[in-house]
Chains A and B, each alone.
Chain A
Amino acid sequence: MVVFDKPHALADVPMHYCPGCTHGIIHRLVAEVLDELGIEGRTIGIAPVGCSVMAYDYFNCDMIEAAHGRAPAVATGVKRADPDKHIVFTYQGDGDLASIGMAETVHAAARNENITVIFVNNAIYGMTGGQMAPTSLPGQVTQTSPYGRDVKHCGFPIRVCEMLSELEGPEYLERVTVNSVKNIRAAKKAIKKAFQNQIEGKGFSLVEVVSSCPTNWGMTPQAALQWIEEKMLPYYPLGVYKDRTAEEAQV
C-alpha cells in the first residue's frame, strides 16, 4: 500500500531550493490541490521572477514564465483567452507581487480577475541574495538594510491581505503559514478554496503564505520556523481577510 507519493501535478525532477526552504512544501500543496480537484489538464501556471522562477519546471501543468511582477497581467490574458477552460494560477514572491508588480496585483484584484494567486511572503529577496523586501520587518537586517530596516528612511512593510481587503473587487484573501503540520493543513485548505473559487467563477482569490528563508535570514531551518512564529506572525496575523461568499451568506 502506497501511503506517501508525489502528487501527479508535481514534476519528478530535483528542485533547486535551499535546505529548509518552504517553497517545496507550498509547491506540493498546490500540486495536491490540482490533483484533488482534477484540474491539472486545464491549468496554466504563471511563474514569477524570484526564487520560484523555475516553478515552470516543477509543475506538470502548462506553465508560463512572466516578467518580474507581471504575473497577474499575464494571468489575465491567459484567463480571458478561454475563461471556460483555463484554470490559471500565479505563484509569486513578495518582491514580485508587492514591490515591482504591485500595480498588476492591485488591479487584478480590483477587477476581481477570476484567477488564483499564491503569494509567498518570506520578507526578503532570496534569489538575488538577501536584500530588503517590501515585507521585510522593521529593524530586519538584510544586505540592503545592513543596520536594520529603518522605517523613517525606507518606509514600512506592506500588509498585502489587509490592503487588498479594502477593495470591493477581490473574492477571497487569506493569510496562512507553513511552519507546523497544523498550519500546513490549514494552508492547504485555503489554497484549495482559492482554486475552488476559480472553478466556481467567484473571482480573485489570493492566499498569502508566510514563509521562511533560512539561508538569507542566516538561521537554521528550525530557527527560521520559530522566527516566523515570533516575529512574522505578530506583524502578519493569520486569518481570512476577505471572503465575499461567506460574508454574503451571513447577511
Chain B
Amino acid sequence: MSQKSFLFSGFGGQGILFAGKFLAYKGLTDGKQVSWLPSYGPEMRGGTASCGVIISDEPVGSPIVTNPDILVAMNLPSLDKYESAVNPGGIIFADSTLIERKVERDDVTVYYIPATKLAGENGIPTLANMVIMGKLLAVLGDNSEEGIAAALGKVISARKAAMYDANYTAMKLGADYE
C-alpha cells in the first residue's frame, strides 16, 4: 500500500489551504483516496496557517498529519515548527525568499526555491504557493500536463478562468527552477 502525507505551512494569505486543496484534487483526479485537514480558528487570522493532505491507494485512516513525508514550508516559523517532524527520508520544500537559514537535518532531501521572488518577478505575486507546487510535482514525477489541467479545472471555477493560466505559469516556474 502506498501512502504519502503532506504538510503545507506558512502565513495566512500565502495560499496554503489552496495549495493543499489543489494537491488533494490532484490525487482525486488521479483516482486516489485523499483527505485534507486545515488548522482552524484564530491562528488563521494572520498567523500560521497549515493543512495536512494525505494521498493513498487505500482508504485514509487518520487525516491528521503529524509526521509528514513531505513538508512545504513557506516561512521561517513553519520550518522551525515542523522541520523535526518530517519523516526520515522525507522531503522539505522551503521558500528561500522568506527562509534564510538552511535545514539542519541530513536525513531528508531539501529543495530551496525562491518562490516569492520568482512569483513577484513574473507578475503573479500571490502564487508563490503554486511555484513550489510546480517543483513538488516535478520532484515527485507527477507533473503531466493533463493531470495538472484536470486538478486545476476542479479548484478554479469557470468564472475565474484567467487564474488558470497564471497558476500554470507559476507551476512551470517552479518545475523549471534548478
Any A–B CB pair closer than 8 Å: no
